[in-house]
Amino acid sequence: MFDYKLLAALATVVEQGGFERAAQCLGLSQSAVSQRIKLLEMRVGQPVLVRGTPPQPTALGQRLLNHVQQVRLLEGDLQQQVPALDEDGRPERLRVALNADSLATWWLPAVGDFCRASGLLLELLVEDQAVGLKRMRAGEVAACLCASPRPVAGARALALGAMRYRALASPAFIARHLASGIDAARLARVPAIVFGPDDRLQQRYLAGLGYAGSFLHHLCPSSEGFVRMAEAGLGWGLIPEAQVAAQLADGRLRELLPGQAIDVPLYWHSWRLGGERLEQLTAHLRRQARHWLVAVQEG
């Protein structure tokens, strides 16, 4: 069998983003961790890490990490029946990549019951879908929640439903900039809020109103910051309605054009051979999602 002490050293260096932290985490000296990585590289005959800040796995290193992740998931299953097998006695964390808006809104309430009952620990990564799926492919995460329906090899994608986004702004912003009526050309000339280069929602919204050019915008890569920015009257933007129920109820935010919502479908990607715990979590999510997401219209 493989020497898992060496593979665990590799995984820990990558997860912790450095040799010093990996050493702390493993209860080893830094030179012992270096030794293990070097020994691993001698055995496989190639570098497994690009030494940098932080260290990055090579292509071969990523294949090894993929394997470690799969083994850990399988160990997680076994451990529920035979807890003493795990040397350090700590439950493994399940690594999940998900989009910022799901994390800021429905995902944790939806999985809460399951995690409390099973004692599962989570390691969450906030990633847009391209990076989330890349991490799946590299075996760095056990599951990924994103808008892409296409699973990576060895995984499957489950349609959960859609998040409903509405174009919102503060009453002061509307009074200041849009008092004489709202149309696409006017909207393009007042500041919007955009999450980041991958956020095309505002563009889609303007396109739905017949406008295709560029538009003024702030950039704010934080779900919570996005809402704060809209509340502060700095711009308009598409916001999940579930995130701002209170603000819509008390009038801190208002919808620009009622009835023009955009639904973003969400898919849960998980490994086919990810083990029993991941299966159970997937089944739990399938049941829970309908309480939090809107049903997707089949095309």
Stretch touching a second copy by CB under 8 A, among 30-38, 180-188, 215-223, 257-265: 215-223
Helix residue ranges per DSSP H, the chain: 4-16, 19-26, 30-44, 59-81, 100-104, 107-118, 129-137, 171-177, 184-189, 201-208, 223-231, 245-250, 276-292
Residue 225 found at the interface with a second copy (CB under 8 A)? yes
Closer residue to a second copy, CB minimum distance, 233 or 273: 233
Closer residue to a second copy, CB minimum distance, 93 or 284: 93
Stretch touching a second copy by CB under 8 A, among 6-14, 67-75, 118-126, 259-267: 118-126
Residue 222 found at the interface with a second copy (CB under 8 A)? yes
Query: Of 98, 101, 97, 130, whose CA–CA distance to 221 is shortest?
Result: 101
Residue 159 found at the interface with a second copy (CB under 8 A)? no
Residue 105 found at the interface with a second copy (CB under 8 A)? yes
Asked if residue 54 has a cis previous peptide bond (ω within 30° of 0), the answer is: yes
HSE (side-chain half, CA atoms, 13 Å) at 109 = 11
Residue 33 found at the interface with a second copy (CB under 8 A)? no
Residue 178 found at the interface with a second copy (CB under 8 A)? no
Record the tokens describing residue 162, joined without a space.
């859609």
Closer residue to a second copy, CB minimum distance, 121 or 273: 121
Q: Report the distance separating Cα 16 and Cα 28, nearest Å.
A: 14
Query: Of 259, 298, 26, whose CA–CA distance to 164 is shortest?
Result: 259
Residue 202 found at the interface with a second copy (CB under 8 A)? no
Stretch touching a second copy by CB under 8 A, among 139-147, 214-222, 251-259, 267-275: 214-222
In the complex, least distance from residue 258 CB atom to a second copy, rounded to whole angstroms: 25
Query: Contacting a second copy (CB under 8 A), which of 126, 178, 261, 296?
Result: 126
Distance of CA 160 to the CA centre of its chain: 15
Residue 277 found at the interface with a second copy (CB under 8 A)? no
Q: Report the distance separating Cα 125 and Cα 89, nearest Å.
A: 24
Query: Of 142, 150, 160, whose CA–CA distance to 273 is shortest?
Result: 142
Query: Contacting a second copy (CB under 8 A), which of 123, 149, 245, 290?
Result: 123
In the complex, least distance from residue 193 CB atom to a second copy, rounded to whole angstroms: 9
Residue 108 found at the interface with a second copy (CB under 8 A)? yes
Q: Which amino acid is at 165?
A: Y
Stretch touching a second copy by CB under 8 A, among 1-9, 59-67, 143-151, 222-230: 222-230
Closer residue to a second copy, CB minimum distance, 3 or 224: 224
Residue 237 found at the interface with a second copy (CB under 8 A)? no
The answer to whether 296 and 263 are in contact (CB under 8 A) is yes
The answer to whether 223 and 243 are in contact (CB under 8 A) is yes
Query: Contacting a second copy (CB under 8 A), which of 10, 11, 13, 100?
Result: 100
Q: Which amino acid is at 105?
A: T
DSSP-assigned letter for residue 283 = H
Record the tokens describing residue 230, joined without a space.
């809209």
Stretch touching a second copy by CB under 8 A, among 37-45, 89-97, 180-188, 204-212: 89-97
Q: Is 84 left (phi over 0), alpha (psi -120 to 50) or beta?
A: alpha
3-state secondary structure of 181: coil
Binding positions for a second copy, rule: CB under 8 A: 16-17, 21, 90-91, 93, 100, 103-105, 107-109, 111-112, 115-116, 121-126, 176, 191, 197, 216-225, 228-229, 231-234
